[in-house]
Structure 1
């Protein structure tokens, strides 16, 4: 009995010792893990090696473009120099876009424009402007917010009752008076977008790439008066159009009685919205793919560029000239006959 009791106490002691060793191992593991995390944080955020070290920093790049040849500004920022400066002043004065300690307004706007104009990703913008990805993203979003506010102000009607006829129509004989009641045009366009692969399918339409189908309205001064973005590339133009004119919160500029918009063939032809004639070509690619248009009455002219219609002044002149030539030929024949008769008479005289 004593031996059994001793064995039991020894076994219990071994268990207690094993548990203490496991606890010590766990503590050692936690300490090592914390030390690794602290070391990683220190090397990443405290003594990290600088990545963007080029002396050609973003502000210097923007200033070089703005002070250089005018074509460079248009190539890089997709606008002229004076337009760029005006945009910066407008965003600063009316929409409170301000410089930070390290980035000027010009550089912020440059980041925004070059990203949109060239489809730059964040990494490409980092290399171009020598800033971190967080800095690029933060300032891009800052400009995007103020530009969105500005868009609400500038994409609007100047004459909500459409009382005045556009000078573009009134002073052009091709349009006046045929389009004196036309107030603008409506069309859609597909803009490529970058979107998560898990959400791409609804955005991949006939273009074969992810796009947004954007509906836009413009007047005859080429000013946008209404824009609706965000629709998937697979959405049909008619669906977007019908929702735009029916949703009151969108404040679509409906044509007043007697006025109308010109619309693309993809939109319905209805009161206030005039579409093109069906089965008629009007897109330039349609003309490039097929034969050139030809009316029956003009076919003779298309076949022969020297063709003259009957009864024309040129035709009458041609007939007079032909008659005169025939008259001269007849007179010459008579003279020849008389000369031959005299010659024969003298020979036999």
Structure 2
């Protein structure tokens, strides 16, 4: 109160309005400092299980902030565990070269398959960032130990133009605009091949959205700490697993429920694969048949 009494006395003795205004602002700042003392927000002294329980029994948003999932989903995860894209990589300078991709920084190349429910059905992590996508796919399909799932008869994996249009893998027409975002930013598709590519990309866009959501939820995938590389690979696999787990719970989720999911920054590789000519002809014929059907339906609609 003594401070405010002195302030009133100063104002009464002064005829300058600007000086009076400055005095009032200064007084308000002093009063604010007296009433509001800055304190650390994250000041828990707990660790391990007791810290986790504190978060779970606290505010829901704090749980989401710390664990990237709400308490009810996290509790289901704990119960379950008791019962049973390129990702940045941090490596010693002597081993970085094979992991350095076209963008100049070190990454591990992660190959993944996802379904239209935004769940990953197959993930292989740990390949060098410089490894070609087709090379990784060939290793998966030719090595039985990899347990790579073959699509059912009459079904095909939708792959980007970095892969060959071969048996079981339906790729877009090369040499024509492909990526879904390019059509959204510029113009509508024109011609038979571009219409096919647009339809193809709009379906395959789901995997790009999955990669974007994954990196949005788990910041560690955008800036990997310098753990040993085998640990980095396990972290990537854990993040993919948690992505599927959260999706399977069908609970409200800020990231999955977002209106405009981010897109991944993946790029198409150059094809360096040798495929039997009979397979190429068979898949080219299939792609042409599908493209003709789509194009004809548009012409007669």
TM-score (norm 1): 0.39
TM-score (norm 2): 0.44
Larger Rg: 1
